[in-house]
Amino acid sequence: MNAKLLSAVGTFAVAALLAGPAAAEKTKIDFWFGNSGDIAKRVQEQCDRFNASQSDYEVVCTSQGSYDASLQNTIAAFRAGQQPTIAQVSDAGTLDIMLSGAYYPANKLMTDMGYTVDWKDYFSGIASYYATSKGEMYSFPFNSSTALLYWNKDAFAKIGKDHAPATWEEAAADFKALKAAGYACPLGFNISRDEVWQLEEQFNAIHGEPIATKRNGFDGLDAELTFNKGKWVQFVKDLKGWYDNGEAVIKSKETGQTFIEAFANGDCQVILTSVGDHGNIGRTAKEGMNWDVAMLPVYEGTARKSSFVGGASLWVLSGKSEPEYKAAAAFFDFIAKPEEALTWSTVTGYIPVRNSGFKYLNEQGFYDKAPYKGRELAIASLTASPAEDPAPHGIRLGGLLQIRQEVSNGLQAIFIKNEDVQASLDTAADRGNQILRKFEQTYAGKTLP
pLDDT, one tens digit per residue, over 187-241 is 999 999 989 998 999 999 999 999 999 999 999 999 999 999 999 999 999 999 9
Residue type, 131: A
- Is the model more confident about 105 or about 11? 105
Which pLDDT score is estimated for 296?
98
What whole-number distance in Å separates Cα of residue 296 and Cα of residue 274? 11
What whole-number distance in Å separates Cα of residue 313 and Cα of residue 31? 12
Q: Does 2 score more than 50 pLDDT?
A: no
What whole-number distance in Å separates Cα of residue 26 and Cα of residue 389? 46
Answer whether 407's CB lies under 8 Å from 200's CB: yes
Which pLDDT score is estimated for 199?
93
Query: What would the pLDDT profile of 333-382 be if each residue is shown by its tens digit?
Result: 999 999 999 999 988 888 899 999 999 999 999 999 988 999 999 999 99
Query: What would the pLDDT profile of 44-78 be if each residue is shown by its tens digit?
Result: 999 999 999 999 999 999 999 988 888 889 888 98
Average pLDDT over residues 88-96: 88
Of the pLDDT bands very low, low, confident and very high (cuts 50, 70, 90), residue 17 is: very low
Answer whether 76's CB lies under 8 Å from 70's CB: no
Query: What would the pLDDT profile of 103-122 be if each residue is shown by its tens digit?
Result: 999 999 999 999 999 998 99
Residue type, 2: N
Average pLDDT over residues 81-87: 94
pTM over 0.85: yes
- CA geometry: angle at 195 spanning 125 and 254, to 5°? 160
Buried b (16+ CB within 10 A) or exposed e, 105-120: bbbebbeebeeebeee
Which pLDDT score is estimated for 123?
87
Q: Does 139 score more than 50 pLDDT?
A: yes
- Helix (H) / strand (E) element for 293: namely strand 291-294
Query: What would the pLDDT profile of 377-410 be if each residue is shown by its tens digit?
Result: 999 999 898 766 777 788 999 999 999 999 999 9
Q: Does 22 score more than 50 pLDDT?
A: no
Buried b (16+ CB within 10 A) or exposed e, 207-243: bbbbbbebbbbbeebebebbbbebbbeebbebbbebb
Domains of the chain: 25-145+310-382 (3.40.190.10), 147-307+389-442 (3.40.190.10)
- Helix (H) / strand (E) element for 377: namely helix 376-382
